[in-house]
Chain A
């Protein structure tokens, strides 16, 4: 059973526009959420995170929104740049699980010049 779901395998966006990547989770015990970015042949790189006590966290062009009642989070990238083209993994963790993250399957973002 997938506790973290990224239902869009891919997303294509024009440079300069907003990219919105979505993630849903089923485990109500999750209280910490992360986004990782992965280029081909490299390991994932931490991008941004949010605690369940917040509903928004912003870092430069990247903003993560958390809707606990809907068990949904999203990553907004604005403006999108060609260098943002990568696979984005959503991950969630819980104190009861020693905060070891559970990952979604990823969304491949392509930003066209």
Chain B
């Protein structure tokens, strides 16, 4: 199965700790997107990355959050000094091409459920 992989599936952190969420895109995909879903909410776009580049981070909070997609290895979403409000499901998606045509589909991973105690 060459689908989008995310790990861990569940992550529990205490306030003030760091959370690292990993995403391996589908084979051959070089475009990665991170979304956050708060309870009873839809998915909110956070950041769009290509290999070694952040293309669009307009949805990402300015503080404590960062993302990377290195040349080798998975994409990482990093949340420093987590707070209770960071508790959510974080989904990663990948696509084959840049979503410029509107017809390329994003394929989603199963998500990481972050709980901040």
Contact = CB atoms under 8 A, between A and B. Distances in A.
B45 A46 contact: no
Nearest to B93: A43
Given A42-B110, A43-B111, A102 B45 contact: yes
Is chain B's interface secondary structure helix, strand, loop, or mixed overall?
loop
B42 A45 contact: no
B106 interface: yes
A36 B93 CA distance: 13
A46 B98 CA distance: 17
Interface of A: 4, 6, 31-32, 34, 36, 41-46, 49, 51, 89, 93, 95, 98-106
B91 interface: yes
Contact of B42 (A31, A93, A100, A105): A105
Given A104-B42, A105-B40, A98 B100 contact: yes
A46 to B, nearest CB: 5
Nearest to B42: A103
